[in-house]
A and B are shown apart, each in its own frame.
Chain A
């Protein structure tokens, strides 16, 4: 019996079942350090532009007049417009909602839910008698862009508290990231770890590190600013997997895991991408 228990424990250790989130994060950084020995890993917050000098130059030129600028202005105006009851977004968040995006997603011990920033924005609205906003683009993405803008330069600080529900959510997000799916049988990992920096047709693939620091994003192919959930849906469709509803439990858990992996990296949202 004792031998069986020891064997089970060793198996779990060997298969990483007992790896803590912090061990996962450090192992991921080591993976990329070995994969790109000449790259400053902190540059990975810039996605594909960390790998592609030509594309980076074009992107930097675009940043002189960033296409997300209007969204920041619209988001700021919306953020400061009081609700019908006289209260506003600032009343719902710590520090009046300024410079806090690095703390999201967070685990809410009362509800047991993973709270993304977009979820919290809509929660603020419904708590104050307002209709929730559509999740993927438009006003919600603009408010999120403004809040991201006020958080620039802060370091991603997602917390996984000592609560089995939080750890379970993190593990579910991790499993989703590494599980192949869809008709093309691709996992997120296949593109953003195994093939990071490589070309997929004409597009260079970004790496997993820093993937959560710069949202929401103005993508040229969208022609507008959109949230991370919009990108999740797009990724799913690209591998011909049925996407989930925006802000579904699956996507919130995925964002929780993905964001934790970027802990310690500089917040640089909103951003522009091809």
Chain B
């Protein structure tokens, strides 16, 4: 019985911890996501690589935050950051490989 109770408590705790991520995002989380995204996009632009879609996502994130929808704002800022990271990855790979396409 004691063992079953322990399993139940652990299960409940695990469920609580896993659901913590589903708790509504707040402004602090949004600001952190926004800053990360901005830095990544600056890095991508410096490497002559920025997707046309990324800054739009950031603008949409700011709009969502202004409307108080921080869940959406964080999601959009995160998407922008991921796009920036992919752009940087492309830039770093291309820096090493672009010469391969030049006719010789």
Contacts and interface: CB of A to CB of B under 8 A. Distances in A.
Nearest to B56: A242
A134 interface: no
A31 B102 CA distance: 10
Given A16-B104, A19-B104, A27-B104, A183 B99 contact: no
Given A183-B53, A236-B52, A178 B99 contact: yes
A30 B103 contact: yes
Contacts of B83: 183
B interface secondary structure, majority = helix
Interface residues of B, number: 21
Interface residues of A, number: 30
Contact of B94 (A17, A179, A193): A179
Contacts of A191: none
A181 B90 contact: yes
A182 B52 contact: yes
A183 B80 CA distance: 12
Interface of A: 15-17, 19, 24, 27-28, 30-31, 174-176, 178-183, 185, 187, 189, 193-194, 236-237, 240-243, 250
9 contacts: A176-B48, A178-B98, A181-B87, A181-B90, A183-B51, A183-B53, A193-B103, A242-B52, A243-B52
8 tightest A-B CB contacts, nearest first? A31-B103, A242-B50, A27-B103, A178-B98, A179-B94, A179-B98, A183-B51, A178-B101
